[in-house]
Chains A and B, each alone.
Chain A
């Protein structure tokens, strides 16, 4: 059953639940962070409309910096601005930042320990028609391997807004991952959110599986849990926006309680969120773990829904994966 303490949207299972892309949360959050702190600046690499950086630009034109198509320079200029007291957000598509500028992020932001917030937009296959070049599926892995880097994949636009505001107030290097497609806004401003904390969305009395999910697919996990409950399969759905540092206590508690874990992410199954969970559980509390993600493939053109279905990341596939895990 739904965790009432999560204070999710009253329309969480309604057909007319509000939908918005997590990138909108970046746009709103950046403006909010900019109002709270005059040192917040936004750098963008020729993608101000689609990243929603232009919302900040309209509000604070003097604090918006157009970098042109130069992601390596964007990351390193941001490092320099942070050195001089600014709080820079850098926005481009995840395929290019951190895809193109990984080494700049590694050396001048992570190793150099600068408070720069790398915002990877249009991540995952749900970018849709643009195809494989733009469908970043390796960024969580790249970023979570970096020492000192905090990695957050918000579940919806509201949580994205709050993650942006929280990252601006915090310190150190951040990677925030956003998506292009409109997805259900299942959290509210009342929903608990803190960097490093997971959120139980669904928890039944005698769960047989813990579904751990990051990003907007947590909503699909929630829908799957409801369907499975009707079949008599009880579950936990743990939404884990902060991939690093992992909320180990929450992951451990869910694994201990349910005894089986299914992880879900719009990312390569190798190296990402599911890997983080599996690595932790293998050392601390070995249980059966199955990871849903893209299996060593690139994406392709298509509509977001059909791509998620094709790569096995929609609600029906989650339900099947749970049944298979229980039968194993």
Chain B
């Protein structure tokens, strides 16, 4: 069922709130990744507020869809989205990366209910999602499995081992989403290690491939719906995102891959997020 304009507007508003939380938590943490989490805020919003069957009050609910985050370094966006969805208080986001926190620098399943895996080391999420999807299918269960991965981790051999396996077994209950933001720590992906043509590569591995603007919530939801309708193959959605989306100073700048804003930068960036759409919404609290 198509979403109404007002439903989309509500989701966009949530994405904006999530971006604000991400900036605040990174400033408070004093370390962490900025560009990826901001770029993926729209997709996480779409998952937690529209796509996923899930229950924040019962994270182990058997019938839930599984959302596996492979590139664990963008954890701030997952934490922020989970907090806004009701898994834990939004204020807890400010404990990110601090001693004793449940919000570890890279996500640890044993510390925070609602994470499906422990992740950070790259190239491992697709395999784990494939294992979950394979086991669910063995048991005749209908849950869907989503895995979010980065473009940089397409350089890992493990990713392609998993792509072979998933294609071989036609795991159509699995949908992979690649955050194609073209940056990694050392620079632009195509300079560090050319990855294109990514769509053709996955098609050659027996996948159904879609490409979409990953900062367009409506387009992303439409793509996920199409993936559900593909029964013969797993689907990869290559989501073209703008790294740092929402903060013009960060957008497209790979140097923001792995560093947080300072307090002063954070205040400025928050004002920028709040002017998205040309509408100023109050001062930094």
Q: Which residues of chain A come closer than 8 Å to B53, judged between CB atoms?
A: none
Contact B120 A107 (CB under 8 A): yes
User: What's the minimum C-beta distance from A86 to chain B, rounded to whole angstroms?
Assistant: 5
Chain A stretch 88-135: residues in CB contact (< 8 A) with chain B: 88, 103-104, 107-108, 111-113
Chain B stretch 57-81: residues in CB contact (< 8 A) with chain A: 66, 68
* A67 and B165 contact, Cβ closer than 8 Å, known pairs A72-B157, A77-B130, A83-B117: yes
**Assembled-state Cα–Cα distance A103/B134 (Å):** 22
* Contact flags B118-159 to A (C-beta < 8 A → 1, else 0): 111101100111111111101100000000000000000110
Q: Which residues of chain A come closer than 8 Å to B127, judged between CB atoms?
A: 72-73, 75-77, 79-80, 104, 108
B interface majority secondary structure: helix
Chain A stretch 33-71: residues in CB contact (< 8 A) with chain B: 41, 62-63, 65, 67-68, 70
Chain A stretch 173-210: residues in CB contact (< 8 A) with chain B: none
Contact B131 A78 (CB under 8 A): yes
Using a CB–CB distance below 8 Å, which chain A residues touch chain B? Answer: 41, 62-63, 65, 67-68, 70, 72-73, 75-86, 88, 103-104, 107-108, 111-113
**Assembled-state Cα–Cα distance A80/B129 (Å):** 6
**Assembled-state Cα–Cα distance A84/B118 (Å):** 15
* A86 and B135 contact, Cβ closer than 8 Å, known pairs A70-B164, A107-B118, A108-B117: yes
For the complex of A and B, the 4 pairs showing the least CB-CB separation, nearest first, are A80-B131, A76-B127, A84-B135, A73-B161
Contact B128 A83 (CB under 8 A): yes
A interface majority secondary structure: helix
* A108 and B134 contact, Cβ closer than 8 Å, known pairs A73-B158, A85-B139: no
* A77 and B121 contact, Cβ closer than 8 Å, known pairs A72-B157, A72-B161, A111-B108: no
Interface centre among A41, A79, A108 (most CB of B within 10 A): A108
* A80 and B118 contact, Cβ closer than 8 Å, known pairs A73-B165, A104-B158: no
User: What's the minimum C-beta distance from A15 to chain B, rounded to whole angstroms?
Assistant: 48
Q: Which of B110, B123, B130, B164 contacts A112 (CB 8 A)?
A: B110
Q: Which of B109, B124, B131, B162 contacts A84 (CB 8 A)?
A: B131
Closest to A66 in B: B168
User: What's the minimum C-beta distance from B161 to chain A, rounded to whole angstroms?
Assistant: 4
Q: Which of B123, B134, B164 contacts A80 (CB 8 A)?
A: B134
Chain B stretch 81-124: residues in CB contact (< 8 A) with chain A: 108-110, 116-121, 123-124
Interface centre among A70, A72, A77, A103 (most CB of B within 10 A): A77
Q: Which residues of chain B come closer than 8 Å to A112, judged between CB atoms?
A: 109-110, 117-118
Contact B132 A80 (CB under 8 A): yes
**Assembled-state Cα–Cα distance A16/B182 (Å):** 67
**Assembled-state Cα–Cα distance A107/B158 (Å):** 14
